[in-house]
């Protein structure tokens, strides 16, 4: 295990904090996800890859934040090695069919950009099917949290965006989720339904969940 040292500012330092640090487990055959991405379920795969790279302190190689040093810098060769490893890790995490179309990318940053451009766009048919499924979903024999989990997105794709337009869309989607949640509840929740819907603006969904869970208990 890398030794943690104390620097001149009297704060703890570990080689693990260095984006260029590689452990013995950081081999070229490493796969970042437990499954291979085949073009479907992009946002779930994207989240898993980013989390894996964050845990290895290598996410800067796909965002561009970990910049290449000058050739005269003693860290230059190590940066090249890390850059190529991250590229290989991402390619190891896609299916053979996709690998054949992506293998010519020369950096993890350009590879990541290409994947996001190709698969990160909204699929209107998938959205239609999802909305159709949600429109028919009611609580019935499910517990409240089981019911809520069925109408909830967990990929977090939009919540990580700083764009004000996407923020407004996310706010509207959150409100729509709350309304959908209230529409499908069983009898016994009428009073809290009326209370929540009469609030202006609608309360944060976590606050509404707390109120509904109290009713269930």
Give the residues across from 13 on adjacent strands.
5
Q: What secondary structure, in 3-state letters, does 124-136 show?
A: HHHHHHHHHHHHC
pLDDT tens per residue across span 61-117: 999 889 999 999 999 999 999 999 999 999 999 999 999 989 899 999 999 999 988
Tokens of 106: 């020369």
Q: Which long-range contacts (CB under 8 A, 24 or more apart) does 203-207 make?
A: 203/178, 204/174, 205/174, 205/177, 205/178, 205/181
- pLDDT digit string, tens, across residues 158-174: 444 444 444 555 566 67
What distance, in Å, lies between the first and last C-alpha atoms of the chain?
47
Angstrom distance (rounded) from CA 114 to CA 203: 38
Model pLDDT, residue 111? 95
Least confident of 18-27, 48-57, 94-103, 153-162: 153-162
91 touches 103 (CB < 8 A): yes
- State yes or no: pLDDT of 134 exceeds 70: no
The answer to whether 45 and 51 are in contact (CB under 8 A) is no
């Amino acid at each position: 295990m890398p030794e943690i040292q104390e620097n001149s500012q009297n704060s703890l330092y570990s080689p693990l904090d260095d984006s260029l640090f590689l452990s013995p487990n950081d081999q070229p055959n490493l796969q970042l996800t437990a499954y291979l991405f085949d073009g479907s379920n992009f946002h779930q795969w994207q989240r898993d890859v980013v989390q894996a790279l964050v845990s290895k302190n290598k996410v800067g190689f796909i965002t561009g934040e970990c910049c290449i040093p000058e050739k005269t810098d003693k860290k230059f060769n190590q940066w090249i090695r890390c850059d190529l490893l991250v590229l290989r890790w991402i390619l190891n995490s896609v299916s053979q069919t996709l690998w054949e179309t992506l293998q010519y990318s020369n950096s993890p940053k350009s590879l990541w950009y290409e994947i996001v451009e190709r698969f990160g766009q909204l699929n209107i048919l998938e959205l239609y099917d999802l909305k159709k499924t949600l429109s028919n979903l009611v609580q019935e024999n499910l517990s409240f949290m089981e019911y809520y989990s069925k109408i909830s997105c967990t990929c977090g794709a939009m919540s990580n965006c700083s764009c004000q337009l996407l923020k407004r869309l996310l706010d509207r989607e959150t409100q729509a989720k709350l309304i959908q949640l209230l529409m499908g509840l069983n009898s016994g929740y009428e009073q809290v339904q009326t209370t929540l819907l009469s609030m202006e603006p609608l309360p944060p969904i976590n606050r509404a969940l707390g109120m509904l869970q109290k009713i269930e208990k």
